[in-house]
Chain A
Amino acid sequence: MCLAIPGKLIEISNDANGVRMGKANFGGIVKEICLEYTPEVNMGDYVLVHVGFALSKVDEEQAARTYNALKEMQQLDELNVPEVPS
């Protein structure tokens, strides 16, 4: 659970409480993520996400490499945890 997973940012929005949120696509699985720590990221950017929080930006090539490495190591289970409906 200490590894961060790269995903592509496909949506940016503020939630009802003004928290900067977004959606990231991780190899087909889309998750809601918090973007408060990465104000610099834009739509289409790749971000490194740890337990639902984007921690840094990564480039696309790096994101693909890291994603594949995690997949190979079967370290993507946490993405299968269902989302809590808002």
Chain B
Amino acid sequence: MKYLDEYRDEGLAKKIVSEIERIVTRPWVLMEVCGGQTHTIVKYGIDHLLPPQVELVHGPGCPVCVTSLEMIDKAHAIARRPDVIFCSFGDMLRVPGSESDLLVLKSRGADIRVVYSPIDCLKIARANPDKKVVFFAIGFETTAPSNAMSVWQAKKQGVKNFSVLVSHVLVPPSIASILQSPLNRVQGFIGPGHVCTVMGYREYEPIAERYKVPIVITGFEPIDILEGALMTIRQLEAGTFEVENQYPRVVNREGNRIARELVNKVFEVCDRKWRGVGSIPKSGYKLRYEFRDHDAERIFDVKEIATREPDICISGLVLKGVKKPHDCPAFGKQCTPEHPLGATMVSAEGACAAYYAYGRHLEARPAVEAA
């Protein structure tokens, strides 16, 4: 096994892999939800380590990748305004919009700043009272408490020149939509540990029940993922479909109650468009009406923009777990991290970027699995 010697706990990894080999009796398709997990899987070759019956497909859990092109273009339109200081997490800078990316706009003179935390934007807003400070509030449930607190504090402290461009996405509706798709092959989920740190895992229970799929909330370290895979396969072999927690050292069923409460005060659930995937009902957060004075979409009233996505990019299918980066004709050729065509090549959590970072574009294309 070519990858095993890279594990700090090689013995334990070996034990888990041989236990999976021992119990597996037929082919299974598992999806890891979180982009951090995808990164781990590709780096440590976990997909190559598992017996051939077990296939891992990569899920939609990269917030940078799924932020819709419309939203990226809106961000660009706002960032270009001379009265705006546009703040963002670093990963968003190179995400291609229809025309350019934030880095290019910055080089043309737009005031675009990378921040570590959304709450830093309040300081920027206070220091620049003559400017409008806008934060690009993207992310899954893990990021929602931070963005919610920034807006909450802005309102409470009367920081009037701070607003957020909200493009929040939620995990449970996205996995339900994957399970509803006629193209779906996923039979069990390695669930997102850090999302559940905030939200807990109660909302996964009706999904497991309804679609009869095991969901194992899992950490992102290599041993966690192996163990999460083992627990999922154990359930599949036994025909059970429970929500289990592989990551109790961090996650509990309730999540962080205080964070959940503030998120619910600031945001409400809305339909949300996912890049490459399309609109998913009730799969996002938007600001509640009370916070409209901090809503960049309302303040700047950016009209719908005609978007243009490169035809060759299949990132939508990659995000749904239907295709792998190797299936894309541009992978590692026209599309590289230096010249990304799609968002899944930008973020380290995107499947295309992870495959590229660990040299998978140099490997022969694996035989296409029967769909």
B123's nearest neighbour on chain A, judged by CB, is A84
Q: How far is the CA of A19 from the CA of B119 in the complex (A)?
A: 11
- From B62, B121, B149, B349, give the contact of A34 (CB < 8 A): B149
**Residue-by-residue, is A44-86 near B (CB-CB < 8 Å gives 1, otherwise 0)?**
0000101111011011001001101100011101110111111
Kindly list chain A residues whose C-beta atoms are within 8 Å of the C-beta of B34: 2
Kindly list chain A residues whose C-beta atoms are within 8 Å of the C-beta of B258: 36-37, 39
A50's nearest neighbour on chain B, judged by CB, is B142
Segment of B102-110, B191-199, B272-280, B325-333 engaged in the interface with chain A: B191-199
Q: How many residues of chain B are within 8 Å of chain A by beta carbon?
A: 51
- From B118, B153, B197, B221, give the contact of A17 (CB < 8 A): B153
**Residue-by-residue, is B254-281 near A (CB-CB < 8 Å gives 1, otherwise 0)?**
0010110010000000000000000000
A78's nearest neighbour on chain B, judged by CB, is B116
Q: How far is the CA of A52 from the CA of B89 in the complex (A)?
A: 12
Q: Does A3 have its Cβ within 8 Å of any Cβ on chain B? A: yes
Q: Does A9 have its Cβ within 8 Å of any Cβ on chain B? A: no
Let me know if A2 and B140 touch, CB within 8 A: yes
Q: Which applies to chain A's interface (DSSP): helix, strand, loop or mixed?
A: loop
Contact residues on A (Cβ < 8 Å of other chain), bracket: 35 or more
The B13-68 residues at the A interface (CB cut-off 8 A) are 34-36, 39-40, 43, 61-64
Kindly list chain B residues whose C-beta atoms are within 8 Å of the C-beta of A34: 117, 119, 146, 149
Let me know if B256 and A56 touch, CB within 8 A: yes
Kindly list chain B residues whose C-beta atoms are within 8 Å of the C-beta of A66: 221
Q: Does B124 have its Cβ within 8 Å of any Cβ on chain A? A: yes
Q: Does A31 have its Cβ within 8 Å of any Cβ on chain B? A: yes
Kindly list chain A residues whose C-beta atoms are within 8 Å of the C-beta of B250: 48, 56, 58, 62
Chain A's nearest CB lies how many Å from the CB of B8? 8
Chain B's nearest CB lies how many Å from the CB of A79? 8
Kindly list chain B residues whose C-beta atoms are within 8 Å of the C-beta of A56: 197, 250, 256
Let me know if A52 and B221 touch, CB within 8 A: no
Kindly list chain B residues whose C-beta atoms are within 8 Å of the C-beta of A62: 249-250
- From A3, A53, A75, give the contact of B145 (CB < 8 A): A53
Kindly list chain B residues whose C-beta atoms are within 8 Å of the C-beta of A33: 117
Contact A81/B194 with A1-B143, A2-B140, A50-B142 known, Cβ cut-off 8 Å = no
Let me know if B349 and A2 touch, CB within 8 A: yes
Kindly list chain A residues whose C-beta atoms are within 8 Å of the C-beta of B35: 2
Let me know if A75 and B36 touch, CB within 8 A: yes
Let me know if A4 and B197 touch, CB within 8 A: yes
Let me know if A52 and B194 touch, CB within 8 A: no
Kindly list chain B residues whose C-beta atoms are within 8 Å of the C-beta of A1: 63-64, 89, 91, 139, 143, 347, 349
Q: How far is the CA of A82 from the CA of B195 in the complex (A)?
A: 26
B198's nearest neighbour on chain A, judged by CB, is A55
Kindly list chain B residues whose C-beta atoms are within 8 Å of the C-beta of A19: 153
Chain A's nearest CB lies how many Å from the CB of B129? 15
Contact A36/B149 with A2-B195, A17-B157 known, Cβ cut-off 8 Å = yes
Let me know if B249 and A55 touch, CB within 8 A: no
- From A31, A59, A73, give the contact of B39 (CB < 8 A): A73
Kindly list chain B residues whose C-beta atoms are within 8 Å of the C-beta of A38: 256
Given A1-B139, A34-B119, A53-B145, output 19 extra A-B contacts at Cβ < 8 Å: A1-B91, A1-B347, A2-B139, A2-B140, A2-B194, A3-B220, A4-B194, A4-B197, A33-B117, A34-B149, A36-B262, A37-B149, A53-B117, A55-B259, A58-B250, A69-B221, A77-B90, A78-B90, A81-B90
Those 6 A-B pairs whose CB atoms lie nearest each other, nearest first: A52-B117, A81-B116, A84-B120, A3-B36, A69-B221, A53-B146
9 residue pairs bridging A and B, Cβ less than 8 Å apart: A1-B91, A2-B62, A2-B63, A52-B116, A53-B117, A55-B194, A56-B256, A84-B115, A84-B121
